[in-house]
Amino acid sequence: MSAGDDPRDAAKPRGFAPSGSADGGFREPLRCREPATATLQLDTEHVRVTRWDFNPGAETGWHRHGWLYVVVPVTDGRRLVELPGGGSVTADLTAGVAYTRDAGVEHNVINDGERPLAFVEVEVRAHPG
Ligand code: NI
């Protein structure tokens, strides 16, 4: 599946670049996870705010962050993050407890828990990477 065929692309905000690119980069492996739902809340000169909702086992799909971002979990939950090169990490999220990452992060985020998971992602356009 090429990036342009992925029906999830329609739900992705602009600038949300899939990592399986035509420039010889990483190709997305075959899998059968449900896509998470991205809801764009704000898109201004300075920030883009997206709410992500995951059913159990759902994923964002592989992507690279073009800007610094802050994530505020709406629910408690456990997320699994797949990383380039085949590694992965899990982390417990606590509702209302934020974390931030620099631009350039590339990953696939999966709800590894048994309940729906949601977070709000705030991307800061002043800090590209
Ligand atoms: Ni991400």
Question: Is residue 57 one of the residues assigned to a domain?
Answer: yes
Which CATH number characterizes residue 70's domain?
A: 2.60.120.10
18-38 pLDDT, tens digit per residue, is 554 455 556 666 668 999 999
105-122 pLDDT, tens digit per residue, is 999 999 999 999 999 999
Boundaries of domain holding 103: 34-128
Distance between Cα 100 and ligand 1 center (Å):
11
Question: Is residue 62 one of the residues assigned to a domain?
Answer: yes
Distance between Cα 19 and ligand 1 center (Å):
11
Question: Is residue 96 one of the residues assigned to a domain?
Answer: yes
The reported pLDDT for the residue numbered 127 is 78
15/73: higher pLDDT: 73
Closest CA to 36 of 112, 123, 105: 112
Question: Is residue 83 one of the residues assigned to a domain?
Answer: yes
Question: Is residue 10 one of the residues assigned to a domain?
Answer: no
The reported pLDDT for the residue numbered 78 is 98
Distance between Cα 109 and ligand 1 center (Å):
6
Question: Is residue 5 one of the residues assigned to a domain?
Answer: no
Distance between Cα 80 and ligand 1 center (Å):
11
Tell me the CA distances in angstroms from 28 to 17, 20, 54, 116, one per residue in order.
Answer: 13, 6, 19, 24
Distance between Cα 26 and ligand 1 center (Å):
16
Number of domains in the chain: 1
pTM of the model: 0.74
